[in-house]
Amino acid sequence: MKQHTKRRHRGVILTLKGWDKLQTARGTAELDENGGNSFTLEELGDRMKLALHTVSKIIGRQEVVDRGSLQKAFNAFKLELVKSDYTQPTEESKDVEVRSCANPQQDWGEAPDVSIFYNRSNELLQLRRWMLEERCRLVALLGIGGIGKSTLAVKLGLQVQSEFDVVVWRSLQNAPSLEELLANILQFLLWSLRKEVLIPDSFDGKLSKLRECIYSNRCLIILY
């Protein structure tokens, strides 16, 4: 009697669009139902009727899950799951995920608090696309003072930090010299990457060492 081998289905992850859709609905529910406080992982698991490790995989976008789990997560927030909300990772994207660091070395310095953050979902989605999908090496946030550029930059950095080995936030408000800024950033980068901590004396040497760090490692440097 011929045996039929059950076809294996590859898992999926949320696209940036799907992830943003879920996070926006979650934020709205937290505001309406939880006084603006974030749902705990346990609360999300109960709401989605999913195991905690599955919820973590969905939110983190680092490991695949089955489509049914995504459907439950979306149903929990009365969302419709459409094909553009999820994808099967390519071999290239899997390699990137393996290389990405779940707990990157971080130095957020005097970054502003973003525990209260509303809207800007379209801007965050566009910025994540530029950084993670299009691999832009330089992104600038421009606008008049007081419109929330720094807050947006922090929120973006927190959302994508797991894709980088090192995250550094530095302020330009006190107008540090370029050489001083380079030395400050290099000190943390070299320590984080377990490289030789000796910082070159010359400006060209510092710049060369910075290039070496960012070309051979995934570094997110945010200047504001």
- Report the pLDDT averaged over residues 123-134: 82
> What domains are there in the chain, each with its CATH number?
13-97 (1.10.260), 105-223 (no CATH)
Q: Is 5 left (phi over 0), alpha (psi -120 to 50) or beta?
A: beta
Percent of the chain past pLDDT 90, that is, above it, reads 11
Give the model confidence (pLDDT) of 59-90 as tens digits: 777 678 999 999 999 999 999 999 999 988 76
Give the pLDDT of residue 6: 46
Give the pLDDT of residue 103: 46
- Report the pLDDT averaged over residues 176-200: 82
- Report the pLDDT averaged over residues 186-199: 78
pLDDT at 97 over 60: no
Give the pLDDT of residue 201: 85
- Report the pLDDT averaged over residues 133-153: 83
